[in-house]
Structure 1
Amino acid sequence: MAEKKIVSIEDRIPKLKEARKKKANRRLILYLSLFFLLIAVILYLQSSLSHVQTIEVIGNEHVDKQDILTISGITTEDNFWKVNGETIAKKLEQHEEIQSAKIDKQFPTTVSININEVERVGYVQNDGSYYPILATGNRLTSYKLKSPTGDAPILVGWDGQKYLEEMTQELKQLPESITQLISEIHWSPTDQNPYKIYLYMNDGYEVDASIRNFSQKMRTYPSIVSQLDPSQKGIIHIDVGAYFEAYSTEEEKGENENESDG
């Protein structure tokens, strides 16, 4: 029978003391590390190292970058961690040309402002100047242009706000690929048809149409043009049915162009 090794209490006490000492030291080191880490965080938050260093504005085409920065209120004096993206986005979305805004914070010091603008569907000509029309139907009367930027059709002779708003909604539903083909849209109301409009296209054709169901009927334009002789220009009627009327003479074409200039 093997003899059991007996360890006296006197032998165990030094080992227990050593284990307790090591445990106390580890705990002290942990507390000191947390303390110095807390001090470092406080110093960091109170220093310029935690300030916003770079502010990016992305997606804006018409709204000026400086206007966006002013509305957002973000500066390089702001603490990166205190920038509230939701609050800033709501402020920016109050601008009539901004549909939505999103704020992204990129550690350590960059803030990105992502802008989605309201689409411009046209430019209204008035007293020799041009004013953008938004997809919301708003006319930017404070945004006066000497000439349109070419990203949307020119709307000429639109004195009736009701009809202008309806035309805006139709343009909003029209594919951009077709909108880009339109140079001018003239409101040409008659006693029988106050919805009558006349279009001048960038490819040299003219279109006789109506505001009502314009976005649906105008979708057939590319198909109609593809079947025509490119050398023969004229008027494409899409109001009642769809058919092509060639210019009978160069004089007739010139008269229509003069009406457009007027």
Structure 2
Amino acid sequence: MENEKVVHLEDRVPKLKEQRKQKANRRLIFYLSIFFLLILFIVYTQSSLSNVASVEVKGNQYVSDQTILKLSKLTKETSYWKIPKGEVADRIKANPEIKSVTIHKSLPNKVVLNVTEYKRIAYVLAKGKYLPINENGKVLKAVKGKPNLSNAPLLVDWKKPDVIQEMVQSLNKLPDTITKAIAEIYYTPERSDSLHITLYMNDGHEVSASLRDFSKKMLDYPTILNYMEKDYPNAKGIIHLEVSPYFEPYTKPKEKEGDEESETQG
């Protein structure tokens, strides 16, 4: 029995040695891998390979990509790992049209600038030039040529800054569906109302109103149109919102034949 035990242990010794050798080799490979990865990381962070390779701008409509990139001061010499996000965002928001900025980094070395601009609430026509007005009331530099006025009305004959600001605040309270329906707004003060305004709508109607309660009464514009279609189908005219809303057609509707006969008989 003792001889059998000795023989059995002698058979296992080579296997144990081989297992220990394999474990030692795996441990060595593991440490060497970590060592080389650290070296590669140090080389990467200290070389131009870790710099920003590309910057993409998203969300901007009015401010050009080039302007935003210039404000960001991000270049191919900027370290991807050392981008001061707060400082970059503040520099971009220095532009009066930029409302907010979020910065996202995408490996290996791409940067995305997500920009939110202030909404252009209106344009002022002054000396033949179109000056945009932001939702925060900021009057911007004139745009080149005639802008696309489908999303914001044009203010004509507006010279008082305080009245312009009041008009902008009123427009801010209206939904986009109504502001986009307005083509032009004229400042037309009267003796009885120094804040009287006249609107020309994209649908061909004219609105006479007071700036004092304009935003509140203009909310009823879609409802007023629905009622008008019943009494004045396809008619165009002036919708008065100064006191109680009423419609004044440009041309009087033709009287029905039956009505004419009754009037003749009468």
1:238 matched to 2:241: yes
Match of 2:55 in 1: 55
- Decide which moves more: 20-29 or 112-121: 20-29
Q: Secondary structure at the match of 1:159?
A: coil
Structure 2, unmatched stretches of 5+, are 253-266
In the TM superposition, what is the alpha-carbon distance from 1:193 to its structure 2 partner? 1.4
In the TM superposition, what is the alpha-carbon distance from 1:149 to its structure 2 partner? 1.8
Match of 1:98 in 2: 98
How far apart, CA to CA, are the structure 1 residues paired with 2:212 and 2:166? 8
Do the aligned partners of 1:199 and 1:207 also contact (CA within 8 Å) in 2?
yes
Specify the code of the residue in structure 1 equivalent to 2:145: K
Match of 1:146 in 2: 145
In the TM superposition, what is the alpha-carbon distance from 1:160 to its structure 2 partner? 1.2
Match of 2:133 in 1: 133
Q: Secondary structure at the match of 1:231?
A: coil
TM-score for the superposition, normalised by structure 2: 0.81
Encode CA deviations 1:164-206: one digit per residue, 9 max, x unaligned. 1111011111111111110100111123312111001111100
Specify the code of the residue in structure 2 equivalent to 1:72: S
- Where in structure 2 are the equivalents of 1:53-92 lying within 5 Å? 53-92=53-92
Structure 1, unmatched stretches of 5+, are 250-262
Match of 1:176 in 2: 176
How far apart, CA to CA, are the structure 2 residues paired with 1:194 and 1:76? 57
How far apart, CA to CA, are the structure 2 residues paired with 1:21 and 1:231? 95
Do the aligned partners of 2:129 and 2:142 also contact (CA within 8 Å) in 1?
no
Match of 1:166 in 2: 166
Percentage identity across paired residues of the two chains: 46
Encode CA deviations 1:60-114: one digit per residue, 9 max, x unaligned. 1111110001001112332222223332122212221011111111112221111
- Decide which moves more: 144-153 or 237-246: 144-153
In the TM superposition, what is the alpha-carbon distance from 1:37 to its structure 2 partner? 0.7
TM-score for the superposition, normalised by structure 1: 0.82
Taking structure 1 as reference, are residues 223 and 59 closer, same or farther at Cα in structure 2, changes over 3 Å only? same
Match of 1:113 in 2: 113
Do the aligned partners of 1:128 and 1:146 also contact (CA within 8 Å) in 2?
no
Do the aligned partners of 1:100 and 1:117 also contact (CA within 8 Å) in 2?
yes
In the TM superposition, what is the alpha-carbon distance from 1:236 to its structure 2 partner? 0.2
C-alpha RMSD of the superposition: 2.7
Q: Report the count of equivalent residues.
A: 246
In the TM superposition, what is the alpha-carbon distance from 1:53 to its structure 2 partner? 2.4
In the TM superposition, what is the alpha-carbon distance from 1:21 to its structure 2 partner? 6.7
How far apart, CA to CA, are the structure 2 residues paired with 1:75 and 1:215? 46
Match of 2:263 in 1: none
In the TM superposition, what is the alpha-carbon distance from 1:163 to its structure 2 partner? 1.1
Match of 1:196 in 2: 196
